[in-house]
Structure 1
Amino acid sequence: MKILLIGSGGREHALAWKISQSPRVTKLYCAPGNPGIAELAECVSIAADNISALKDFALQNKIDLTVVGPEVPLTLGIVDEFEQAGLKIFGPSRAAAQLEGSKTFAKKIMKKYKIPTAAYEVFDDAQKALEHVYMSRFPVVIKADGLAAGKGVTVAISLVEAKRAINAALKDKVFGESGAKIIIEEFLAGEEASLLAFCDGKNFVPMVSAQDHKAVYDEDKGPNTGGMGAYSPAPVVTETVLRQVKETIFRPMLDGLAKEGAPYKGVLYAGLMITESGEPKVVEFNCRFGDPETQAVLPRLQTDIVDIFEACLDGKLAAQNIEWSEAAAVCVVLAADGYPGQYAKGQEISGLAAAAAWPDTCVFQAGTAKQDGKLVTSGGRVLGVTALGADIKTAIKNAYKAADLISFSGLHKRKDIGKKALAYLK
């Protein structure tokens, strides 16, 4: 079968890598792709948000299945457009994708269907938002309502920080329309985890757990990023926690969306806080594979991912047997100096082949480009180095050994990816 993958980051490279392993795939295209993906698929120069051009390409090339990586085309309604044209596409409808496209929508759904999350208020007026935080207990969490590439969240520990975040969104419009409304919510103490699930509209099957590292510096210091690394499994997600997440989060959300006339098909990502009492609460929902969690989770998947995609679309997920490796996986993101702020591009990358040759290691390209025949940096998050190991300690060691073989001017990486998991081994 012919498959079209949409996107150009590390998540899409991991998806291309896994999809290309399916014996059912005769041709894999990716739009727009990146140099790493180009080694696995034919890259097509169509932007991920150019829905009409993507639809035309899929029709002209008789694409059997389209897989959507990033959130923007999903929130723009690419699934609805493709389905109306008679094309099979993996991902949620525009209505269901509001879970990520609007935090206000997500909060309202969670409140309506009694899904545990932080208490919150919504504001579109800076003065009223400031008046609210004057009366709040710090820290407070301030979020842009719409899509902000993982950078629209501020954990304000003081009134000064809260005021700066509120004004940035509502007065300075740093997030554009995405920040026209903000959510101010209570701070949840505990340990974060990510749990993704395959969904077919009625049924869901959770993937193996993972933990992302949002802050740019070690010990969770500095501003939030799209993610500086991830590991799987996350020991904080015990069997008890997993059962609670299934019963109190995924089940009521899928049932609720179906009642709202927006049955959810695709990958549903629950960003969780495992609170100090042990109760999991939702920090956020995403409507697609996480990045970089995908780079830590998919290397553990042993079932043909194309079979899973089709089971989701056909409403047959309950009959699909999904198997995972017992090995642990760790992904270390190599970023450009200055990210998530301003950073240089065009820095030559070396050592990629040596790192990729390391046993049980994959190097997923994210912000890369070809320039005069050389591989250079072109984004904030440049590469994701993922390694497997018999346990988390071994996987961490393997990932950093491979990552240390790669260099480019201004390379920055966290040195503590997976450290929280080690605490559970004592």
Structure 2
Amino acid sequence: MVNCLIIGHGAREHAIGEALVKNGASLFTSMSFKNAGLEDLSQQIQIQSETDFKSIIDFGKSQNIDFAVIGPEAPLVVGIVDALERGDIPCVGPKIEAAQLEGSKIFMRDLLTKYKIKSNINSKMFNSMEGVESFIKDLGEENIVVKPEGLTGGKGVKVFGDHLSSKKAILDYCNELIKNKNRFLLEERCDGEEFTLQTFVDGKNVVGSPLVQDHKRAYEDDKGPNTGGMGSYSMKDHLMPFFSKDDVNVALEDMKKTVAAVKTETGVEYKGFLYGQFMKTANGIKLIEFNSRLGDPEAMNILPLLKDNFIDTCWAIIDGSLSKTIEFKKKATVCKYLAPEGYPENPQKDEKLIIDKERLNKIGAKYYYASVYRDGGDIFTTASRAIGILGISDSLEEAEIISELG
């Protein structure tokens, strides 16, 4: 029996835990608040800040942990893998230098520029208003995206036409970032269809998974404010109607070159999961962002389809021995998030969730707890996304029906 430790508290971590337990792991979880799904799967849990490394190491050692899987980005970008590995706990996740692909958008763009990664886009870093208006004039205000340097939970990036309606709005947001002592990027806006390619990386080998497309807007028909992601889907053939296998190969090749560039630039091998958000534009495939972990909700679209033993895959990431391919079932998936009334701007907290597990099983829907808590035998909402409902079937239409009925 392998003792596995998960760090994290969301639906993504619930899906990771499910995949580990399914393949025979004895699960332990350290989380900042109690996720009911992880609690049910785990032999033992620790409620602790996910950046309190000493407490997590002590917990891991007390449970004879064989390896840890880090779910969220926040502990990754401040060095949890470095800390745990110094404490003799091997990790699935990048060390602090490599995790800056997500932790610093400026580091990421500089790296892609220096190593001539083809899918890179035009961007410039600013830490004052000097040169901002000139850059906007050169690119055209309608082509501007403003990105704060650090983590924003999917909500800090602002795009002209979606969140910014004028040059004044762009300048006001830039001034707000500077006032808060945030460096930021101005990037060219890309037009096209987005897709997510999540990969497994062992330092050298970069192995892909089914493409996923996520939807961040809070309301139906892609309307409303941005969120961390309200739902996502994947197709039976692991592609998308608007993306060819050649498009995927272009994206995958750039991810391989980026992993190699991280090693050359920092001396650190990238190990763990690497998430690439790409867009197919009139000028080819363009890289929108990297994340140094699996997506949420996108992890729920791929992990339940995994045919390979997930424990073996994790060991291969740690040991640097990944095979060239990882097998997934040829199924379509649709994941939809339930969120509290009023989310994301004025969510109602502490609402009781009624979960009919028998009916979900009968429908064939899977469910993953996100930001909810258990009090006694009942589940209650917090201010964030509550539960992801996943449908899996032979067609996208059937998968959506299952998810919707759930």
TM-score (norm 1): 0.88
Equivalents in 1 of 2:219, 2:134: separation in Å? 32
1:379 aligns with 2:357: no
Aligned to 2:293: 288
1:169 aligns with 2:177: yes
* 1:348 counterpart = 2:352: yes
Give the Cα separation in 2 of the matches to 1:188 and 1:365. Answer: 34
Alpha-carbon distance in structure 1 between the residues aligned to 2:28 and 2:62: 15
SS of residue paired to 1:227: strand
Partner of 1:417: none
SS at match of 2:199: strand
Task: Find the aligned partners of 2:225 and 2:346 in 1 and give their Cα distance.
Answer: 13
**1:313 match: secondary structure:** helix
Determine what percentage of the aligned residue pairs are the same residue: 32
- CA deviations 1:78-116 (Å, max 9, x no partner) are 111111222111100100001000000000111111121
**SS state at 2:96 partner:** coil
Q: Where does structure 1 lack aligned partners over 5 or more consecutive residues?
A: 403-426
Please say if residues 94 and 271 of structure 2, whose CA atoms lie closer than 8 Å, have aligned partners that are also in contact.
Answer: yes
What's the offset of the Cα at 1:334? 1.1
Provide the rounded CA distance (Å) in 2 between the counterparts of 1:351 and 1:59.
35
Q: CA deviation at 1:27?
A: 4.1
Cα 1:355–1:264, aligned 2, differ >3 Å: closer, same or farther?
Answer: farther
2:303 corresponds in structure 1 to 298
What is residue 127 of structure 2 aligned with on the other side?
124
- Give the letter for the 1:182 counterpart: F
Aligned: 1:191 with 2:193: yes
Q: Summarize the Cα distance change of 1:30–1:95 in structure 2 as closer, same or farther, 3 Å threshold.
A: same
Task: Supply the distance in 1 between the matched residues of 2:108 and 2:71 (Cα, whole angstroms).
Answer: 20
Question: AA paired with 1:289?
Answer: L
Distance in structure 2 (CA, Å) of the matches to 1:211 and 1:395: 14
Q: Which residue number corresponds to residue 139 of structure 2? A: 136
Q: Does 1:12 align with 2:13?
A: yes
Q: Secondary structure of 1:20's match?
A: helix
Structure 1 residue 322: Cα displacement: 2.0
Q: Give how far 1:135 is off.
A: 4.5
Q: 1:168 to 1:338 in 2, by over 3 A?
A: farther
Deviations 1:239-290 (A, max 9, x none): 111111122x11211211121212110001101111134x211100000011
| 1:378-399 Cα shifts (integer Å, max 9, x gaps) | 1311111111011111111111
Q: Secondary structure at the match of 2:98?
A: coil
CA drift of 1:127 comes to 5.8
Structure-2-length-normalised TM-score: 0.92
Q: Does 1:254 align with 2:255?
A: no
Q: Tell me the CA shift for residue 372 of structure 1.
A: 4.8
Counterpart residue number, 1:214: 216
**How big is each residue's C-alpha offset from its partner over 1:53-89, in whole Å with a ceiling of 9 and x where there is no partner?**
1111112221101110001111111111111222111
Contact 1:34/1:43 (8 A) holds in 2 = no
Among 271, 274, 277, the alignment partner of 1:271 is 277
Match of 1:311 among 308, 312, 316: 316
Aligned to 2:14, the other structure's residue is in SS state helix
* Secondary structure of 1:317 counterpart: coil
Aligned pairs for 1:397-412 within 5 A: 397-402=401-406
* Aligned position for 1:391: 395
Name the count of aligned residue pairs: 392
Moved more, 5-14 or 238-247: 238-247
- Whole-angstrom distance in 1 between the partners of 2:73 and 2:293: 6
- How far the C-alpha of 1:17 sits from its partner, in A, is 1.1
Partner of 2:71: 69
Secondary structure at the counterpart of residue 13 of structure 1? helix
Of 346-355 and 249-258, the range deviating more from structure 2: 346-355
After TM superposition, give the deviation of residue 134 of structure 1 in Å: 4.5
For 1:83, the equivalent position in structure 2 comes to 85
Asked whether the 8 Å contact 2:259–2:270 carries over to 1, the reply is yes
Give the counterpart letter for 1:254 in structure 2.
V
Provide closer, same or farther for how the CA distance between residues 358 and 280 of structure 1 changes in structure 2, counting only shifts above 3 A: farther
- Tell me if structure 1 keeps the 8 A contact 2:29–2:38: no
Q: 1:238 aligns with which of 205, 228, 244?
A: 244
Per the TM alignment, residue 237 of structure 1 is displaced from its structure 2 partner at its CA by: 3.3
Structure 2: unaligned runs, 5 residues or longer: none
Over aligned residue pairs, what C-alpha RMSD do you find?
A: 1.8
* Mapped contact 1:327–1:391 kept (Cα < 8 A): yes
Distance (Å, rounded) in 2 between the aligned partners of 1:109 and 1:78: 23
Q: Do the aligned partners of residues 162 and 337 (structure 1) sit closer, same or farther apart at CA in structure 2, a change above 3 Å counting? A: farther
Q: 1:106-143 deviations in whole A, cap 9, x for unaligned?
A: 00111111121220111122464345334532131111
TM superposition outliers: structure 1 runs of 4+ over 6 Å: none
